[in-house]
Amino acid sequence: MQFQKLTLIGVGLLGGSIGLAAKQRGVADRVCGLVRREESIAECLTAGAVDEATLDVAEAVADADLVILCTPVGRMGELAAAMKPHLAADAIVTDVGSVKASVVAAVESVLSRFVGSHPLCGSEKSGVAFAREDLLEGAVCAVTPTEASDVATVETISKFWTTLGSRVVKLAAADHDSIVARTSHLPHVLASALANTVLAQPRAGESGFLGTGFRDTTRLASGEAGMWRDITLENAEAIAAALEDLQSEIGRLKTALSKKDASALENFFTESQAARDGWLAGREDL
């Protein structure tokens, strides 16, 4: 697989990692990045994530074979409209957003050769300085075609992610959003809520009682706030449904605590231990 020009709309952690991987694997002759700040041009070039970078959307997408939207999901619709007049007729467009239904609805109506994607990889760190060429290696990448999707375009995008080392899973956008609301979005919301709750106590952060358990459990809370604002807005219903199920579990725990029910408490922790250990069994990637 070979693209003459790959354009990244946004060159942060994930966009930068895609650029590094594409260059390292020889997937694209040129990698161009669209950035929002003048100083970002030098940052992208220094990181080696792109061959060129620009602030101008027309320059960025001109003659591109493949364009990847790597911005917060809330901006993807407007960026698709801005790109459209400057795209080559046969240019393929995808994205990396962690919400799919709203993005697909917004972008596919503007760009007919768009198919949604979501590489399930990342970090609580942000910015191209943290980009890694192996970030996508072994990661699942969801591809979410619709009835309107061109079959050849779906296959080209799927092969692109596979070439970068990811394992492609095709599913409907709504199914994707329901799944990641629980596997990705809920853990982030919980990490943030835990950090807010514990660190609101004036002495908690000064007492020396906060150790590796708190650090590891709240790691996700260091994620970029604006990005997570957009994700939770765009997937609000599915996240709310996941939170209702969680509240049911918390309610079960609170009842056991109020009754000082030793058996119920032990069952609570036994079930979670067995569920997690069963999930981890045989997983060499974790």
Average pLDDT over every residue of 75-82: 95
The proportion of the chain whose per-residue pLDDT surpasses 90, expressed as a percent, equals 86
Average pLDDT over every residue of 179-195: 96
Average pLDDT over every residue of 136-157: 96
Please name the fold of domain 175-280. Answer: 6-phosphogluconate dehydrogenase C-terminal fold (1.10.3660)
pLDDT given at position 284: 67
pLDDT bin (cut points 50, 70, 90) of residue 52 is very high
CA triple 135-140-141, angle to 5 deg = 90
- Let me know: does 36 contact 64? Beta carbons within 8 Å: no
CATH 3.40.50.720 in the chain is located at 3-174
Among 27-31, 124-128, 149-153, 168-172, name the one with the lowest average pLDDT: 124-128
| pLDDT over 80 at 186, yes or no | yes
What's the mean pLDDT when you consider all of the chain?
A: 93
pLDDT given at position 224: 86
Give the tens place of pLDDT for each residue, 251-274.
999 999 999 999 999 999 999 999
Cα 76 from Cα 104, distance rounded (Å): 9
Q: Could you tell me which CATH class the domain 3-174 is placed in?
A: alpha beta
CATH 1.10.3660.10 in the chain is located at 175-280
| pLDDT over 90 at 151, yes or no | yes
Cα 17 from Cα 144, distance rounded (Å): 21
